[in-house]
Each structure stands twice: as C-alpha cells, then as structure tokens.
Amino acid sequence: DAGVIQSPRHEVTEMGQEVTLRCKPISGHNSLFWYRQTMMRGLELLIYFNNNVPIDDSGMPEDRFSAKMPNASFSTLKIQPSEPRDSAVYFCASSLQSQGPQPQHFGDGTRLSIL
C-alpha cells in the first residue's frame, strides 16, 4: 500500500518567495496533520483536518502560513512570504481518525531551506 506522499523532498529558495508543500494522504484516511520539526522546537503540530475541514490551526506560526485540503486526497501548506526562520523539515501525516487508538502515518517530509 502507498504511504503518505510528500513533495518536494527538498526545497531551497530565497526569502520572500512563496513556498508550497504538498501532501497525498493514505486513501481512506479521514484526518490529515501538518507538522514542523526543528532542532530548537522539536516536533510541532501546525494544523489538522477532519474530512477535509480544518479543525485546529492554533499551531500555525503566523499569517504567512496557510493550509488547504481541497479534497480527500490532497493537501497543501503554503508560506508566503518565506523567511529564513521557516527553514525546517515539514511532515504530513494521516490517520483514520484525529483522536482515538488509530495511529498517524507519516510521510518522509520536505526539508525546506530559506536563504
């Protein structure tokens, strides 16, 4: 079975540019999560969706960040404009449910470098 697919795997861009990260969840999963991982802050939950609807975006650092899930098989995380402090690894995960005993399944992440 295909796992969670993220693209691109690596992104290097200059500050001020728009960055779009993409995620395809596991088919049949109803919940999707976006995380950011840095050395300083560890693993942070940015936002999660249930049935394509954003439920909690309190982890989104600021208005420069936005996430959408137009359908059950695709989600994007956008940063506009990007800043060097946004450099991190961004993970997408999906699950059958946002709470309860079902585990989250993670993609391999997008390593983002903002110059």
Partner 1 sequence: AQSVTQLGSHVSVSEGALVLLRCNYSSSVPPYLFWYVQYPNQGLQLLLKYTTGATLVKGINGFEAEFKKSETSFHLTKPSAHMSDAAEYFCGVVGNTPLVFGKGTRLSVIA
Residues that bind partner 1 (CB under 8 A): 4, 31, 33, 42-43, 45, 48, 56, 91, 93, 98-101, 103-109, 111
Closer residue to partner 1 in complex, CB, 13/98: 98
CA dihedral 106, 109, 32, 85 (to 10 degrees): 130
Task: Name which of 33 and 65 has its Cβ closer to partner 1.
Answer: 33
| Rounded least distance, CB 22 to partner 1, Å | 15
Query: How many CB atoms lie under 10 A from the CB of residue 89?
Result: 15
In the bound complex, what is the minimum distance in angstroms from residue 98's beta carbon to partner 1?
5
Q: How far apart are CB 51 and partner 1 at their closest, in Å?
A: 14
Residues 6+ apart with CB under 8 A from 78: 18, 19, 20, 21, 65, 66, 67, 68
Q: Which is nearer to partner 1, 12 or 15 (CB)?
A: 12
Instruction: Evaluate whether 106 touches 112 at the Cβ level (below 8 Å).
Output: no
CB of 5 to partner 1, least distance (A): 11
| 78 touches 11 (CB < 8 A) | no
Query: In the complex with partner 1, which residue's Cβ is closer, 82 or 94?
Result: 94
